[in-house]
C-alpha cells in the first residue's frame, strides 16, 4: 500500500516558523492583509511577503493560486509559498489551493499556516489528495516524502474527517492502480476482509455459494479464469433499524474480453476494470473511519474475464439469478453480466432503500463524455439530483444520460429473453438499459458508468494520472446529506 503523506494538525505556534525546513505556506486574502502567521514570516523574511503582495503578480492571481518566494533570507526554509485565498472562499477553492500547494511540494516537509482560516481542513484535504503517488512497485526511492504540519484552528473532528475521506480515496486508488497479477479475486477479497478492522462486517461468498444462489451469469464470466469468482459483502450499520442503502461494484480484476478478445494495444489498461468495486471499498472505508450514522451495504462481484477451454463463447445462453435468460453475443460485454446477478441478489437479500452501482462498463461512455465526467443513469429524479448536487459540490464531474424504453429493442435476442449487447449506437445507454432489467420496480437506483473517470491518462483535479478515486467523495457526501440521522 502506498504510504500517504502524513499530515499533523496543531495550534499556531509562531516561534516554530523560523526553524522550519522545506516550505512554509502562508495565506493572504484578496485585501492583501497579512494574518499573524503571514506577518511573522514577512518579518523574518525582511518584508518579502509584503512586497510580493503589493506586486502586480499577486493582483493577477486567482483565489487559490500560489506564488513561491525561493530561498528567503531569515528563514531556514528554502521556500515560502504565498497562497492567495479569499477568507470567505468555498471549499472547492480551498481544496484547489491545497492541490496547488501539493504541486509545489516536491517531497519537501511543509509547514502550512492556515491560522484562523475557516477552510483549513479543506485545504489539508486537497493537499493530501494531490500528494498521492502509486509507488508500490517502484524500488525504494532515496528521497522520503516530507511530512506536513498544518498550524491553525480546526474543529476537533476535522482532522479525523479529512483523514477518513483521504484514506477512502487512497484505498480506491491503490486498488484501481494495482496490477492484475497482484490484485487477483483472492487478494482483493483478502484486502476487503482486512477492512473488518475498521468495524465493517465482511462476508465472502465463494463459487459453491454463488452456484447455490443461482448466480450463473456472474460465474459464467469468471469460468475461463484460474482465479475463483467471489462476491464480497461489506456492511456498515451506523444507523437505526432502517433499510440499508446499497452500493454495488463491478470488480473485473482483468478484462481480456474473453473469447471476443480485445486488441493488444492498450489492453494493460484493463487492470482498472475493477474500479467500480474499488470505489465501493473506498466509500465503505470512509464511512467506517468517520463512523457514519447510516446503514450501508456494499456488494462487489470479483471475477476475471479470461479466454480458455472453459470460457463462455458467443452464442452461449445463460440463466441469470433473476431467471431471465441471456444470449452472449460478445464475451467482452461482461460487466453487465456480473452486475445483473449482484444487483438482483442485493435487492433480494437486503431490500435496500435505494442503490447505486458503479462500473467501468463501456468504452462508449468514454467516447461520449471523455475523462472529465461519469455517465449517470437513474430511474429516480430525486435520488439522481441528490447525487448530481453532491458531485458538483465535491468537484467530481458527472452528467445525466437517458434511460428510455425506446432503446429496448436493441437488446432483443433471437433465442433468449435478451442479449448482452445492443450494437454500436448508444452503447452506454443500452448497457444501462440491460442493468435496469435487474432493478425491481420502485427501487430508486443510479448506475454510474465510470469507464472514463476511474483512471485518467493525464492528471485530474485531485490526482496524478492513473487511478483518480472518482466517486468516493460524492457518494460519501450523498450519504451524509441524505441518509444520516
Q: Is 262 labeled as catalytic in the residue annotation?
A: yes
CB 21 within 8 A of CB 110: no
Which one of the listed residues 191, 336, 437, 477 is annotated catalytic?
A: 336
357: contact with Zn ion by CB under 5 A: no
Q: Which does 362 bind (CB under 5 to 8 A by kind): ligand BES, Mn ion, Zn ion, none?
A: ligand BES
Closer residue to Mn ion, CB minimum distance, 133 or 255? 255
Which residue has 495565506 as its cell numbers?
27
Among 133, 334, 341, 396, binds ligand BES (CB under 6 A): 334
Task: Name which of 199, 222, 151, 180 is nearest 9 in CA terms.
Answer: 151
For residue 309, what is the enclosing H or E element?
Answer: none
- CA distances (Å), 202 to each of 101, 164, 172, 193, 344, in order? 38, 19, 17, 6, 19
The phi, psi pair for 150, rounded to 5°, reads -100, 120
327 is an interface residue for Mn ion by CB under 5 A: no
Among 177, 225, 360, 456, binds ligand BES (CB under 6 A): 360
Given the complex with ligand BES, which of 40 and 336 has the nearer CB atom?
Answer: 336
Backbone phi and psi for residue 355, each to the nearest 5 degrees, phi listed first: -150, 150
User: Shortest distance, CB of residue 423 to Mn ion, whole angstroms?
Assistant: 16
Q: Which stretch binds ligand BES (CB under 6 A): 220-228, 331-339, 350-358, 370-378?
A: 331-339
**At what angle are helices 158-177 and 275-289 packed, to 10 degrees?**
160
Nearer to ligand BES, 293 or 372 (CB): 372
8: annotated active-site residue:
no
Query: Judged by CB under 6 A, which stretch of 14-22, 43-51, 143-151, 356-364 contacts ligand BES?
Result: 356-364
Catalytic option among 262, 293, 392, 480 = 262
Select from 37, 335, 422, 471 the one that contacts Zn ion (CB under 5 A): 335
DSSP state of 406: G
Least distance from ligand BES to the Cβ atom of residue 464, Å: 19
Considering only 332, 357, 394, 396, the residue that binds Mn ion (CB under 5 A) is 332
Biggest CA pair distance of the chain: 82
Q: Which stretch binds ligand BES (CB under 6 A): 148-156, 172-180, 233-241, 329-337?
A: 329-337
Q: What is the DSSP letter of 71?
A: S
* Residues sharing a CB contact under 8 Å with residue 341, sequence separation 6 or more, in sequence order: 215, 216, 217, 218, 301, 320, 321, 322, 438
Residues whose CB is less than 8 angstroms from the CB of residue 177 and which lie 6 or more positions away in sequence, other chains included: 134, 136, 271, 272, 455, 466, 467
- The residue within the footprint of ligand BES, chosen from 167, 255, 394, 476 (CB under 6 A), is 255
Taking a C-beta distance cutoff of 8 angstroms, is the pair 230, 239 a contact? no
Q: How far is the CB of 57 from Zn ion (least distance, A)?
A: 48
Query: Distance between CA atoms of 196 and 295, rounded to whole angstroms?
Result: 16
C-alpha pair distances (Å), 399 with each of 172, 279, 358, 450, 471: 21, 18, 14, 11, 13
Residue 451 binding ligand BES, by CB under 6 A:
yes
Which one of 98-106, 330-338, 394-402, 452-460 is the stretch in contact with Mn ion (CB under 5 A)?
A: 330-338
- Using CA atoms, how far apart are residues 29 and 43, in angstroms rounded to an integer? 18
Query: Parallel, antiparallel, or unpaired for β 148-152 and 7-10?
Result: parallel
Distance in Å, CB of 273 to Zn ion, minimum: 4
Which is closer to ligand BES, CB of 44 or CB of 361? 361
Task: Name residues contacting ligand BES, limited to 35-54 (CB under 6 A).
Answer: none
Show contacts with ligand BES in window 147-176 (CB under 6 A): none
Q: Which of 121, 167, 174, 273 binds Zn ion (CB under 5 A)?
A: 273
User: Closest residue to Zn ion, Cβ-based?
Assistant: 255
Cα 428 vs. chain centroid, distance in angstroms? 20
**DSSP class of residue 365?**
H
Q: Of 86, 255, 357, 394, which lies in the binding site for Zn ion, with binding defined by CB under 5 A?
A: 255
From 273, 327, 341, 476, residue interacting with ligand BES (rule: CB under 6 A): 273
- Helices 120-130, 158-177: crossing angle, 10 deg rounding: 20
Relative orientation angle of helices 472-483 and 275-289, to the nearest 10 degrees: 50
**Closer residue to Mn ion (CB): 244 or 276:** 276
Q: Which is nearer to Zn ion, 246 or 252 (CB)?
A: 252
Site size with Zn ion, rule: CB under 5 A: 4
Residue nearest Mn ion (C-beta atom) = 332
* Closest to ligand BES by CB, 121 or 327: 327
Give the position of cell 462476508: 203
What residues line the site for Mn ion (CB under 5 A)? 255, 332, 334
What residues line the site for Zn ion (CB under 5 A)? 252, 255, 273, 335
What residues line the site for ligand BES (CB under 6 A)? 255, 273, 330, 332-335, 360-364, 366, 421, 427, 451
Please list the active-site residues: 262, 336
Amino acid at each position: 500500500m502506498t504510504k500517504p503523506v502524513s499530515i499533523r494538525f496543531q495550534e499556531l505556534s509562531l516561534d516554530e516558523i523560523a526553524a522550519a525546513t522545506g516550505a512554509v505556506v502562508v495565506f493572504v486574502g484578496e485585501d492583501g492583509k497579512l494574518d499573524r502567521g503571514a506577518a511573522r514570516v514577512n518579518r523574518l523574511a525582511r518584508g518579502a511577503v509584503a512586497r510580493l503582495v503589493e506586486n502586480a503578480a499577486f493582483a493577477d492571481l486567482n483565489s487559490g493560486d500560489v506564488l513561491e518566494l525561493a530561498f528567503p533570507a531569515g528563514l531556514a526554509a528554502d521556500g515560502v509559498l504565498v497562497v492567495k485565498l479569499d477568507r470567505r472562499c468555498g471549499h472547492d477553492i480551498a481544496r484547489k489551493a491545497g492541490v496547488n500547494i501539493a504541486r509545489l511540494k516536491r517531497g519537501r516537509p511543509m509547514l502550512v499556516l492556515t491560522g484562523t482560516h475557516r477552510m483549513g481542513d479543506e485545504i489539508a484535504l486537497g493537499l493530501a489528495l494531490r500528494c498521492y503517488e502509486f509507488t508500490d512497485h517502484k524500488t525504494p526511492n532515496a528521497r522520503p516524502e516530507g511530512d506536513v504540519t498544518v498550524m491553525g484552528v480546526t474543529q476537533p473532528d476535522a482532522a479525523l474527517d479529512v483523514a477518513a475521506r483521504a484514506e477512502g480515496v487512497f484505498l480506491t486508488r491503490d486498488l484501481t492502480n494495482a496490477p492484475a497479477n497482484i490484485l487477483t479475486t483472492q487478494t482483493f477479497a483478502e484486502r476487503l476482509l482486512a477492512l473488518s478492522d475498521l468495524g465493517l462486517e465482511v462476508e465472502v461468498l465463494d463459487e459453491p455459494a454463488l452456484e447455490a444462489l443461482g448466480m450463473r451469469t456472474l460465474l459464467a464470466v469468471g469460468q475461463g479464469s484460474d482465479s475463483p469468482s467471489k462476491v464480497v459483502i461489506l456492511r456498515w450499520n451506523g444507523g437505526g433499524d432502517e433499510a440499508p442503502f446499497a452500493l454495488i461494484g463491478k470488480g473485473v480484476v482483468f478484462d481480456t474480453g474473453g473469447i471476443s478478445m480485445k486488441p493488444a494495444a492498450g489492453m494493460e489498461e484493463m487492470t482498472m476494470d475493477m474500479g467500480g468495486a474499488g470505489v465501493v471499498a473506498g466509500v465503505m472505508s470512509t464511512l467506517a473511519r468517520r463512523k457514519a450514522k447510516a446503514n450501508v451495504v456494499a456488494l462487489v462481484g470479483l471475477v476475471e474475464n479470461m479466454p480458455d477451454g472453459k470460457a463462455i463463447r458467443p452464442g452461449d445462453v445463460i440463466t441469470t439469478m433473476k431467471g431471465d435468460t441471456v444470449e452472449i453475443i460478445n464475451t467482452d460485454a461482461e460487466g453487465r453480466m456480473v452486475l445483473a446477478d449482484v444487483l438482483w441478489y442485493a435487492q433480494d437479500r437486503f431490500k435496500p432503500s435505494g442503490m447505486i452501482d458503479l462500473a467501468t462498463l463501456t468504452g462508449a461512455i468514454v467516447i461520449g463524455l471523455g475523462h472529465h465526467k461519469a455517465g449517470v443513469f437513474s430511474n429516480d429524479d430525486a435520488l439522481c439530483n441528490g447525487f448530481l448536487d453532491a458531485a458538483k459540490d465535491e468537484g467530481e464531474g458527472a452528467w445525466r444520460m437517458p434511460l428510455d424504453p425506446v432503446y429496448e429493442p436493441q437488446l432483443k435476442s433471437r433465442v433468449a429473453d435478451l442479449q448482452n449487447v445492443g450494437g454500436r449506437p448508444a452503447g452506454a445507454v443500452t448497457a444501462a438499459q440491460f442493468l435496469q432489467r435487474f432493478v425491481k420496480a420502485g427501487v430508486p437506483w443510479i448506475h454510474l458508468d465510470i469507464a472514463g473517470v476511474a483512471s485518467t491518462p493525464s492528471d485530474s483535479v485531485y490526482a496524478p494520472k492513473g487511478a483518480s478515486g472518482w466517486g468516493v467523495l460524492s457518494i460519501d457526501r450523498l450519504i451524509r446529506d441524505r441518509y444520516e440521522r
